[in-house]
Amino acid sequence: MKREYDISGMSCAACSARVEKVVGRIDGVESVHVNLANERMTVEIHPDAIEPMLAAIARAGFGAKEHQDQMTENNNSEKINNIRRRLILAACFALPLFYISMGPMIQLPLPQIIDPHSAPIAYALVQMVLAAVVMIIGRRFYSVGYSSLFRGSPNMDSLIAVGTTASFGYSVYSLVRIINGDAHAVHELYFESCGVIITLILLGKTLEAISKGKTSEAINRLMKLVPETATVLRDGEQIEIPTLSLVMGDILLLRPGSRIPADGMVVAGDSGVDESMLTGESLPVDKAEGDSVYAGSMNLNGMLQVRVSKVGGSTTLGAMIRMVEQAQGTKAPIARLADVVSGYFVPVVMILAFLSAALWKISGASWGFALSILVSVLVIACPCALGLATPTAIMVGIGKGAEYGILFKNGEAMEQLHRIQTIVFDKTGTITEGKPALTDWFAKKDPKELLKLVASAEQASEHPLAKAILQKAEDQQLTLIPSRNFENHAGYGISAIVNDQTVLVGNHRMMNEKGILFSEFEDALLSLSQEGKTPVLIAVDGKAEGVAAIADTIKADSASAVAKLQARGIQVVMLTGDDQKTAEAIAAKAGIQKIYAQVLPADKTAIIKKIQAEGKKVAMVGDGINDAPALATADVGIAIGSGTDIAMESADVVLMHGDLTSVPTAMELSRCTIRNIKQNLFWAFAYNSLGIPVAAGLLYLFGGPLLNPMIGAAAMSLSSVSVLSNALRLKRFGKEKKK
């Protein structure tokens, strides 16, 4: 069973790696992924292993609470406000500490009572008190850092704790020397390093929390679509209740301009409904009795009464939000590189820091200089940027996809999609509308009158071809005539009497048996046959009167989507169970050269495997139950959101709009996201690779500058912020980027 847990107490990639390692050792755990960016763990676990897992996480120094799916806004404001308060408080003590310690070096005035020359003890004591207060404000770094260190799994907090404690401890030693009369020791105080480092790291954490909060904006916007209250009819009275209190079977009263709080079916009234948040279609959809409406959409111009069928997280909108949240919590394969490095990074850094300090001391440097090297290496090497590089970009990318109705169900799909070389489209319902429509009409006399006569005869039929004819009559606002003696001739067509005229609507076999010739329509029938359309022959009182063509029409955006994919060098393939001629006609309109016709559902998977055997990465786009195995077999399965639930469950990506131009958009978003991740990883690795040698004094060894620990702390904090800022650039991804 798959479970999700919110993990507290993590501060860096080493923490998330530690949680994964601890949980992965538990018997009954099949897989575990920890996302540092949203502080969530996804685990495949046997129910009996849950208690041991929670106990192991607690022993490792972290908290775990099962994640709850709620249709309420993800709000990080309390967390941000808390860390901001700590930052402001720390700054209030760190700024005077910095002034007191550094002021005399640049001839800034100090009160006589704390002047380092005339009152060195007071000068040192004031700094110690100010530094101690800042360390108390940042006490979490020490409680978590030392706890992790003593458990043998040091993390970023351990680096900060050891570095600042060493700095504070050496400064206290210098204070004792001052008290004992060693005036020179006043120049070996490092209290300001402790206070300023803690404050700068709190600044970085505040900026990081604000940036991480922005990664959830897509989910928050979706959640805000659901109103907080709903008006229901109970016992004939209108009452307003919290949306969370709705139950299935409630009758909602929806006034014009109100958001719909739950999924349901219209039982009274008619109105236009804006469903753009689900379908991407800007035009309102007319709703009347028997039609379905969805949570988050807006009732525009009429009163509706709706019987609730789904509430909360079970609504279509709730499923979208859950899908996005789960995807944001998964890892892309590219993240494994950072995970492996992070697991070893912190202990290696601690060894390097102490080794560098020891070598400088052995070479004759002072204890103060060696301490400065130790603190600089420990602080600048914190791997925050490394741990945030991948999950933040994935979160923003998946959230941005949701805005376009493109739901990535996992990070792996996000990474794989831009590598696809062949895209296989199912025909019916994917490239085409999936329902027959009357496309051509040939008549001896008035076409409108003949359509009215045929539609009147077809009124009692349930056949899909009859529905296409009736739809055309409705579109032309024709008033139908009552018919009688309706007969359905299975496999042939129908007959009925309309206005005392015998109307026959059927195929060639039906007309041949009746001896009715359609020689004057030969050219039309030949043309329809070449186009792969189904001809419907019409006779009135034993005479040929017209021919209609029924076909599954191509979607308006199919040809455009195919052209965009082919422009990227991607091979486009179409699968269909239709005959070769019909398949070729549709493929020609869509601009597809390679087709597989008369394909049985079981053969679709074999075709996907055949293309994969050629060494190509394959994506499958489909909407039906019979597409589910092929969707699961493909490297990336893409389901049309208007299709079946089974198809959507089998797919890795769901296109809620049913718009095929979303396929190239999804591929472009995948490409931009992975490029962003690679940029983040490069800068995170480059930062640490360059920063550690400089902090260790390599440049100083050859006459260059020495990195001050405070500069190292600022650089460390800003590195995390830069990675987050780069990830947030993905929020600028727009339709103008589609190619």
The catalytic residues are 426
Structure-token match 């800003």, residue found: 718
> What are the C-alpha distances in Å from 99 to residues 25, 110, 133, 138?
50, 9, 16, 20
> What are the C-alpha distances in Å from 4 to residues 338, 547, 652?
22, 60, 19
User: What is the rounded distance in angstroms from the CA atom of residue 537 to the CA atom of residue 529?
Assistant: 13
Q: What share of the chain is helix, strand, coil (3-state, %, to 5)?
A: 55, 20, 25
Cβ-proximal residues to 68 (8 Å cutoff; 6+ apart), any chain: none
Decide if 369 contacts 375 (C-beta within 8 A).
Answer: no
Which helix (H) or strand (E) is 681 found in, with range? helix 662-695
Residue 154, number of CB atoms within 10 A of its CB: 22
Which amino acid is residue 613, in one-letter code? A
Which parts of 103-215 fold into alpha helices (H)? 120-137, 139-150, 156-179, 191-214
Which amino acid is residue 52, in one-letter code? P
Q: Output the DSSP codes for 37-73.
A: TTTEEEEEE-GGGHHHHHHHHHHTT-EEEE----SS-
User: What is the rounded distance in angstroms from the CA atom of residue 536 to the CA atom of residue 549?
Assistant: 6
Strand-strand pairing, 483-489 and 493-498 = antiparallel
> What are the C-alpha distances in Å from 167 to residues 193, 242, 438, 444, 628?
7, 55, 83, 99, 62
Question: What residues are paired with 2 via a beta bridge?
Answer: 44
User: What is the rounded distance in angstroms from the CA atom of residue 620 to the CA atom of residue 304?
Assistant: 39
User: What is the rounded distance in angstroms from the CA atom of residue 275 to the CA atom of residue 292?
Assistant: 11
Cβ-proximal residues to 274 (8 Å cutoff; 6+ apart), any chain: 284, 285, 297, 298, 300
User: What is the rounded distance in angstroms from the CA atom of residue 263 to the CA atom of residue 656?
Assistant: 16
For residue 195, give the nearest of 126, 105, 144 by alpha carbon: 126
Distance of CA 633 to the CA centre of its chain: 22
Decide if 664 contacts 735 (C-beta within 8 A).
Answer: no
Segments of 281-325 assigned E as strands: 285-287, 292-293, 298-299, 304-310
3-state secondary structure of 153: coil
